[in-house]
Amino acid sequence: MSDNDVGYGKPPRHAQFKKGSSENTRGRPKKKQIALLPRQLRKDILMMMEELLVVKTSNGIKKISGHEMVLRSIRSRAIEGNPTAIKQWMSMTTAAVNERLQLYPALQIVDEMMEKENREKLALHEFQNEKYDFFERTRHLY
């Protein structure tokens, strides 16, 4: 066997790549990003959450975002008594309320005033119910 052998996997000397040059200037094409890369996964998740979904509700057919669908799902599972969903729902609502109060501190005063007013209304309502029950129970005495 000599250096001039030509055949499968052995092109003629003049057709071979020169030393230090592959003549492949563009290089190998890059792989397409797959969804497991954190950056791409984030983009995919955000895109899916913004996508509108068609849902049947008691008020008819409605289009809602993926965000709202997830929140509705967690809320309904929490109402059914799922402990994980209850924990998620409570942490999300607590975070939302705290963020709202940080953005608008004056709302805390309004919330406290409304809570006090609601307690007073509830106490008045309970008093009226007790008064009505008392008269109903003692009506035969009059």
Query: Which residues, 6 or more positions from 3, have their beta carbon under 8 angstroms from its beta carbon?
Result: 13
Burial of residue 112 (CB within 10 Å: 0-12, 13-18, 19+) is exposed
Our count of domains for the chain comes to: 2
Per residue in 126-135, pLDDT (tens digit) is: 766 666 665 6
Q: Is pLDDT above 90 for 77? A: yes
Q: Are residues 76 and 113 in the same domain?
A: no
Domain that holds residue 59: 38-103
Residues 114 and 61 in one domain: no
Query: In terms of domains, do 99 and 111 share one?
Result: no
Residue 109 lies in a domain: yes
d(CA 40, CA 110): 43
Percent of all residues in the chain with a pLDDT value above 70, rounded to a whole number: 81
Q: Quote the pLDDT of residue 2.
A: 65
**Residue 5 placed within a domain:** no
Is 17 inside a domain boundary? no
Evaluate whether residue 14 is within a structural domain.
Answer: no
71 shares its domain with 95: yes
Residue range 41-69: mean pLDDT, rounded: 87
Q: Give a yes or no: residue 7 inside a domain.
A: no
Residue 13 falls inside a structural domain? no
Would strands 52-57 and 60-65 be described as parallel, antiparallel, or unpaired?
A: antiparallel
Q: Are residues 56 and 99 in the same domain?
A: yes
Maximum average pLDDT range among 21-25, 39-43, 88-92, 96-100: 88-92
